[in-house]
Structure 1
Amino acid sequence: MEAEVTVRDAISAPDASGQPRRVTRRFPLFTRDTARPEGGGRAAPGDAPAPARQWPILAVLGLVAIGLLLTALDFFRVGCLLVGVALLVGGVMRWVLPDVGMLAVRSRFTDIATYGLLGAAIVLMAMMVQPNPWLQIPFLKDTLHFTVSSG
């Protein structure tokens, strides 16, 4: 049988020893500390300069910046593809590398799923951009006609 966990309610009035009086089984309302995500440690030794310690996120952000610049310079499809590929690269780094610094936001699974799904969606949409799409999905045109038809 498991022992019951009790937490002293931090907002109740203190007793003579200075401890909060009221005891509750709920977790405290405010978190005092947050655990770093798994893999959220430095990507380089602590004595390395700050940019070297955070190279994974800098690599992803650099690719995204280049992609946005290309998009602004009227290379829309290539720029969007690069943004999507940057997210996919971030997902692969999150999967392969043990420590990725600030690239780790949530759990490893959540980060990989988020980076992967968003990156794949952006790449697919960039390949379907009109005119002259590189990728055509046949049922999408029928779905659009079905939802927009006035009949």
Structure 2
Amino acid sequence: MATARGRRKDGRKKEPGTYLPEGGASPAGPGPLREWPAMVVFGCLIAALLTAALDGFRIAAILIAGTFLVAAILRLFVSDVGVLAIRSRFTDVGVLLFFGAAVLLLGLSIPEPLVDLPWVPKRTGSKGLGL
């Protein structure tokens, strides 16, 4: 049975626009705590960036990779994650885990500098963890 353009098979009119991603709802949401998963991820990221500024890039790389892991876990187990839901759950978790692993490997593979410049602070993040 052929359907008229802009109508479903049962005769109802199709809704215009795009569909929300899985786990997404109205931006107004049910209350002020709707975006708590994104706030947790942004808080972890701010802590990692402060660590990068104050202590060194290796520790910050581990924390940024951990931030990706936190985002992947939230996307996997929390049903309404707000702005963390971009594509399907499988795609979001896969991309977050891939980027987390990439940041971790790249951050830990950067060698010590060949030239010691006196105006560049010596903050490699190798204090205490042996990295």
What TM-score results when the alignment is normalised by the length of structure 2? Answer: 0.68
1:102 and 2:86 are equivalent in the alignment: no
* More displaced 10-residue stretch of structure 1: 69-78 or 83-92: 69-78
Q: Deviations over 1:39-77 (max 9, x none)?
A: 1248xx81x3x2x21110111111111111211224211
Matching residue of 2:98 = 117
Q: 1:108, 1:97 → 2: CA distance?
A: 10
- Residue 112 of structure 1 deviates from its aligned partner by 0.7
Matches within 5 A, 1:48-127: 48=31, 50=32, 52-127=33-108
Instruction: Give, as a single letter, the amino acid of the residue that structure 1 aligns with 2:5.
Output: V
1:40 and 2:24 are equivalent in the alignment: yes
1:7 and 2:1 are equivalent in the alignment: no
Matching residue of 2:122 = none
- Residue 129 of structure 1 deviates from its aligned partner by 2.7
Instruction: Give, as a single letter, the amino acid of the residue that structure 2 aligns with 1:91.
Output: A
Q: Which has the higher contact order (CA 8 A, sep 6+)?
A: 2
In structure 2, the gaps of 5 or more residues are 7-15, 113-125
Q: Deviations over 1:6-57 (max 9, x none)?
A: 637xxxxxxxxxxxxxxxxxxxxxxx41211111248xx81x3x2x211101
Q: 1:82, 1:60 → 2: CA distance?
A: 11
Instruction: Give, as a single letter, the amino acid of the residue that structure 2 aligns with 1:7.
Output: R
Instruction: Give, as a single letter, the amino acid of the residue that structure 1 aligns with 2:48.
Output: G
Percent identity reads 35
Q: 1:76, 1:63 → 2: CA distance?
A: 15
What TM-score results when the alignment is normalised by the length of structure 1? Answer: 0.60
